[in-house]
Amino acid sequence: MIALDTNLLVYAHRRDSEFFENANAVLKTLAEGDDTWTIPWPCIHEFIAIVTHPRIYSPASTLREAIDQVDLWFESPSIVVIGESDMHWEMLKATAESGRVVGPMIHDARIVAICLSHGVNTLYSADRDFGRFRDLKVHNPLLQ
């Protein structure tokens, strides 16, 4: 199963992004395909926080625009949204320790732990920081 990181969600939403067309094509392929794909809940939260932030985008997306975008993704019959499981703490500890995580990198470890506990084998992300987590394959589909 493929999971999507926040940056791809942002790029696919923001038409002013230089990566809009490629990211939008990736999301469209997943959403219209038959294979199950996923977005971790923390990435949904972070997506909304980023695209509506007036210091990041001028003009920022409205909350309604961000919500409508998420609703559109949720219409895909092949999406499964994932979050913390009962074994999250054990998985987070192991992921943080193996990735030698400190400070804000715990957010990435959280995403990886959620993905691993739900059987995700690949995370699509443009963030090279995920490379420190060896248990999850990370692929940047924008480099193709």
CA–CA separation, 113 vs 93, rounded Å? 9
What per-residue confidence (pLDDT) applies to 144?
Answer: 66
Distances (CA, A) of 67 to 59, 130, 137: 16, 27, 29
The domain 2-143 is classified under which CATH number: 3.40.50.620, 3.40.47.10, 3.40.50.1010, 3.40.1710.10?
3.40.50.1010
Q: Are 138 and 130 in contact (CB under 8 A)?
A: yes
Q: Is 81 helix (H, G, I), strand (E, B) or coil?
A: strand
High-pLDDT (> 90) share of the chain, %: 99
Identity of residue 54: P
Domain boundaries, the chain: 2-143
Q: What is the pLDDT of residues 72-117, one digit of tens each?
A: 999 999 999 999 999 999 999 999 999 999 999 999 999 999 999 9
What per-residue confidence (pLDDT) applies to 10?
Answer: 98
Q: What is the pLDDT of residues 117-130, one digit of tens each?
A: 999 999 999 999 99
Q: Are 112 and 134 in contact (CB under 8 A)?
A: no
The verdict on pTM exceeding 0.75 is yes
